[in-house]
Amino acid sequence: MDSMQNMTVLVTGGAGFIGSHICDAIIYQGGNVICLDNFLTGFRKNIEHLLGNKNFKLIEGDIRDIDTCRKAMKNCTHVCHQAALGSVPRSVADPLTSNDINISGTLNIYFSAYEAGVKRIVFASSSSCYGDEPILPKVENKIGKPLSPYAITKVCDELYASVFQELYQMEMIGLRYFNVFGPRQDPDGMYAAVIPRFVKSLIKQESPQIFGDGEQSRDFTYIENVVQMNLKALTTKSKEATGLNYNVACGKRITVNQLFQTLRSNLTNMDSNIAKIEPEYVDPRPGDIPHSLANIELAKNNLGYNPEIMPAKGISKAINWYWENLQ
């Protein structure tokens, strides 16, 4: 991977789960980071260790404010746009805020980058873009009808990126994340992702809720693989690699039932009482897709992506972190 020593990267959502790990990696590679976060879903504790670093600057602000975006963009060479209001169920409950942050906020970032002369934006998209497209594994050039407001926002971000590449000669790279998990992922709140939610319930000796029959499957992707992909997208010299959207995943899937059994088995090694906990099955959630599995050949071929941590190892690493931090 190319050195980042001459790069100053604006990381939006830099105090979030994914964004904070990207900030760490850029600093480690010798780059400079401007972190923009409104702390709506991010946490100061995720970036506390960076606050004294001369290569790190925090701007507390909201991407929905264009002046804040313009201020954050000063002296930046690249943008790594992670800020978003995640969660399909949250977008179903409140489509207006998802639209404001994920579409209007993203457009603010794109346009302020253009105004500032920033050439490359790497941005977080989502596997939810595939919608009702039935074919597995998911291939980047075949997407279906979006099934949730959240999915619509991410499809819209990709469309705007394509227009900015064509009209403004910018280099736009979209990353379609598949069920990212790992340390720092928030286990609290009604919209918590499935792995931290399950782990927290099991540690507390409670039955986790499984929506539907649990036979829905996902391509769970450990955070280190996602960081690797962002760095490769930020540093690639290949112009042909830009203007495209890439799957970021492992190319393997497990069902939610299998996930529960794996988590319970791992945690039983730490507390034998967890072995007897069973899940509670509740109604399926509207907007959820039944199956998710990525083809990652395009990312491998164009960007040299190589997911180094498969789900089983990633789950073990994540559980160790949660065990230490949720007691």
Q: What is the CATH number of the domain that holds 227?
A: 3.40.50.720
Q: Is the pLDDT of residue 327 over 90?
A: no
3-state helix, strand, coil in the chain (%, to 5): 45, 15, 40
288 pLDDT band, cuts 50/70/90, is confident
Q: What is the pLDDT of residue 2?
A: 56
What mean pLDDT do residues 114-136 have?
96
Summarize pLDDT for 44-76 with one digit per residue, the tens: 999 999 999 999 999 999 999 999 999 999 999
The owner of tokens 């069973």 is 278
Confirm whether 214 is domain-assigned: no
Number of domains in the chain: 1
DSSP sequence for 210-261 = EETTS--EE--EEHHHHHHHHHHHHH---GGGSSEEEEES-S--EEHHHHHH
Is the sign of the CA dihedral 40, 38, 180, 133 positive or negative?
positive
Pairwise CA distance, residues 69 & 35, whole Å = 11
From 150, 160, 222, 305, active-site residue: 150
Is 150 among the catalytic positions?
A: yes
Q: Give the span between the Cα atoms of 312 and 259, in whole angstroms.
A: 10
Q: Tokens representing 181?
A: 């998990």
Instruction: Give the domain extent around 42.
Output: 8-181+222-250+293-309
322 occurs within a structural domain: no
Does residue 2 form part of some domain? no
pLDDT digits (tens, 9 = 90+) for 208-224: 999 999 999 999 999 99
Q: Where are the alpha helices (DSSP H) in 124-206?
A: 149-168, 194-203
Query: Over 60: is that where the pLDDT of 185 sits?
Result: yes
Tell me if 192 is assigned to some domain. no
238 within some domain: yes
- Asked if residue 188 is part of any domain, the answer here is no
Residue 217 inside a domain? The answer is no
| 109-134: average pLDDT | 96
DSSP β-bridge partners for residue 255: 217
* pLDDT (mean) for 143-155: 96
pLDDT in tens, 234-280: 999 999 999 999 999 999 999 999 999 999 999 999 999 999 999 99
Cβ-count burial of 236 within 10 angstroms (0-12 exposed, 13-18 middle, 19+ buried)? buried
Whether residue 276 lies inside any domain: the answer is no
Cα within 13 Å of Cα(89), Cβ side: 9
Task: Note whether 212 and 283 are within 8 A (CB).
Answer: yes
